[in-house]
Structure 1
Amino acid sequence: MAKTYFTEDHEWLRVENGIATVGITDYAQEQLGDLVFVDLPEAGKAVSKGDAVAVVESVKAASDVYAPVDGEVTERNQELSSDPSLVNSSAESNGWLWKMKLSDESQLDGLMDEAAYKAKLA
């Protein structure tokens, strides 16, 4: 069963069978405003926790998206290259950014669950 985690930098990751789907939270996309461009990592790229992996650009600002854990990018959301607004309309489902194979699942222990993330925003 998939489990969802959240980071201090407003990323979410849904983990199932050692693969994490990563995106930005609904709160983050609201802060950015309408996205006009998304720069995503290539499949096969090794990333370390805290690395800037992607860039989301809105009419207001460009913002880095960080790797929440160590791993290897396995896929990127191709739909976003032609329709970055998917992140605005569906940040925590269809607007995912990339998928990655985890290299150290113990790193998930340092992340927040949804209740803790919502408490942080409150």
Structure 2
Amino acid sequence: MKKRGNFLFIEKQDDVYTISLTPELQDDIGTVGFVEFSTGDTIQAEEPILNLEASKTVLEINTPLTGKVVERNEAAVKEPSLLNSAKREENWIVKLTDVDEAAFNKLEEA
């Protein structure tokens, strides 16, 4: 199941919620040249999960959900342009667990 929030896609598979940039946001920011992930194992809704510098902007990306960070796309640190990819397996930001199902269900359908 896929939802939208904060110009991000949130895709649920089993108990893992994968957050990635929407194509619209990718177009708006341009080519990503630098990324820095927030630290910490848990994150609250509307807290930053990523800071990025792109050809058109410098942006702080905030999560629409509260959860436990189980994985970050560390490959994007070495190759930031992966976040511009159309491929789901390349353009994700973080993966969360322990997300409130009701909060996820309140998000807009993708």
> Taking structure 1 as the reference length, what is the TM-score of the superposition?
0.81
1:69-114 deviation line (CA, Å, top 9, x unaligned): 1101111111101111111122644110111113311101221112
* Bigger mean CA offset, 23-32 vs 55-64: 55-64
Instruction: Give the whole-Å Cα distance in 2 for the aligned partners of 1:28 and 1:56.
Output: 12
Query: What residue is the counterpart of 1:51 in the other structure?
Result: 47
Number of equivalent positions? 110
2:33 paired residue number: 36
Contact 1:73/1:99 (<8 A) preserved: yes
Amino acid at match of 1:111: L
Q: Which runs of 4+ in 1 moved over 4 A?
A: none
Conserved 8 A contact 1:70-1:104: yes
22-31 or 86-95, larger mean C-alpha shift: 86-95
Which one of the candidate residues 10, 13, 26 is aligned to 2:7? 10
- Listed as ranges, the gaps of 5+ residues in structure 1 are 115-122
Residue 107 in structure 1 maps to residue 103 in structure 2: yes
Does 2:74 align with 1:78?
A: yes
CA contact (8 A) 1:86 1:95 kept: yes
Point out the structure with the larger strand share.
2
Note the residue ranges of structure 2 that are not aligned, 5 or more in a row.
none
Which residue identity does 1:35 align to in structure 2?
A: V
Q: Per-residue deviation at 1:41?
A: 3.2
CA distance in 2 between counterparts of 1:91 and 1:35 reads 15
Identity of aligned residues (%): 23
